[in-house]
Amino acid sequence: MLLRRNELSDAKSVHLPQMNYLHSRWTALTAAGLLSFSAKAADYALPSGPQTDGSFRKVVLEADKDTDGDGKIDDSLKDPMELAVAKDGRVFYAQRDGTVKVWKPDTKASVVVGKLDVFTGLEDGLLGLNLDPKFLENGWVYLFYARPETTQDSDGKKAGENRVARFTLRGDTLDLASEKILIRIATQREQCCHSGGSVNFDSQGNLYASVGDNTNPFESDGYAPIDKRPGRSPWSAEKSSANPNDLRGKILRVHPEPDGTVTIPKGNLFPPGTAKTRPEIYVMGDRNPFRISIDQKNGYLYWGEVGPDAGGSNPQRGPAGFDEINQARHAGNFGWPYFVGDSKPYIDYDFETKTPGKPFDPEHPVNTSPFNTGIQDLPPAEPAFIYYPASQSARFPVVNGPGGRTAMAGPVYYFSPDQKSEHKLPAQFDHTLFIYEWSRNWIISVKLDPNDKIEKMERFCTNMTFKRPMDMELGPDGCLYVIEYGTNWGDNRDSQIVRIEYGGQQTASR
């Protein structure tokens, strides 16, 4: 799944108004046409906090509701993870328990199209979903999920497999027998954490999948998990993120073929046939790249990197923890577990003797871990695009706020006056990257300049409540679609999937 459990107690979620305020506010908004809902109020959880901001409003497509008629809201929208919007307006979304649902614009209701048998221990489950670029023609749905079977590796330790697979939708049924396995990712199941799980496409039909480092971070004091002691592989990201011969701690890029196989696009990090490497790797050196997006015009890859917990620097260990928003214009190594933020180096710490070595060199990182099955000399480390610590950020002050850190990257929007949509984002957001925070409950618009560098960063819809945004996608209507996960780590009664509509005057971009 996500993130850092130990920070949840610190995460200041959105203020929860009194219930009588909620009822009166919800009634007023609905009557005024400023908040739209797909069923009667008694059936659904009432949204908490403001759901409008100036010319923007939320349309609630799906939410937790009373499923058994006892007058109490149930956890019916259970751990929604990732969504995709078809060109005909249908919204497909994945729940961590293996359920795939679709919301239909004609009925304004969701139906279950399939349910996979998945392993939901640790942070695994059904984590990612996307649609084929030609989905309306072929019905192909791509899922990132954990196989239910727990096996043993060569050392007799618990192991599993995460998959990226293609299924065919026939009518309202996901044909489970149609599965075509595109990528197999071997994992350890001895210890938590970090699964990643986002899937996305670029304009060339290449499929990207983000994979976490599959490493327990809790015995590294919030610094680099580089334990080299025998039997400590689950506590070492050198086996995964810094291992060029392993798919974990990476963002993978392949090209799905019609027969269910994949080919390797040109420009991945390691050319096919390179000894002790995997050709599927586009980006390495990731900790937990939880949500990814691709600029459909130039192919630049963006992702949020959920970072480590250290609250401050330590001369024996290295820098404080940072969350990152990354931009990859080409294949590269983004540093983990040797570097964080703008390639701040960790110390080569000996977990056996508890003594520090030298800082790692971002120009020439070397992985000498016994758990590394790949080449030792790694590509130079790339710095983060945006990065911020748990404390206040002076470099990027707009990100500051209470709570933990859980950075995620959304889509890049381009305004088009020819797009026939009354509610598309306005021209002021042309060439804008949207980023968002699960812990701090904000969305930020990052205006990009002609060179795709940061021109300015501003909070988006500051008067609107966002309750732990889990995924954000652009629809064919130019609107943002957002999964709001709900207040808690799980077992929520206030999850919802919304469309953010603009109701002001549309003008051409300049």
Break the chain into its structural domains and give their ranges.
73-463
Residue 148 identity: P
State which residues of the chain have pLDDT below 70: 1-47, 505-510
For the record, the structure tokens of 273 come out as: 């046939």
**In sequence order, what are the beta bridge partners of 473?**
481
* Total residues found in the chain within this entry: 510
**Looking at residue 185, what is its pLDDT?**
98
Q: What is residue 71's predicted lDDT score, i.e. its pLDDT?
A: 87
What homologous superfamily does CATH list for 73-463? TolB, C-terminal domain (2.120.10.30)
Amino acid at residue number 361:
D
User: Distance (Å, rounded) from C-alpha 75 to C-alpha 451?
Assistant: 45
The rounded distance, in Å, linking the Cα atoms of 340 and 331 is: 18
Rounded CA separation 117/100 (Å): 11
Confidence at residue 232, expressed as pLDDT on a 0 to 100 scale: 97
Q: What is the CA radius of gyration of the chain?
A: 22
Is the pTM higher than 0.85? Answer: yes
**Distances from the Cα of 407 to the Cα of 305, 437, 470, angstroms:** 6, 5, 10
Instruction: Judge contact between 302 and 294, C-beta under 8 A.
Output: yes
Tell me the HSE value of 433 on the side-chain side, using a 13 A CA sphere.
Answer: 30
For 253, other C-beta atoms within 10 Å of its C-beta total: 24
pLDDT of 19? 30
Q: Which residues contact 239 (CB under 8 A, 6 or more apart)?
A: 215, 233, 246, 248, 369, 371, 372, 373
State how far the alpha carbon of 142 is from the alpha carbons of 138, 174, 188, 232, in Å: 12, 11, 23, 34
β 442-448/454-459 pair status: antiparallel
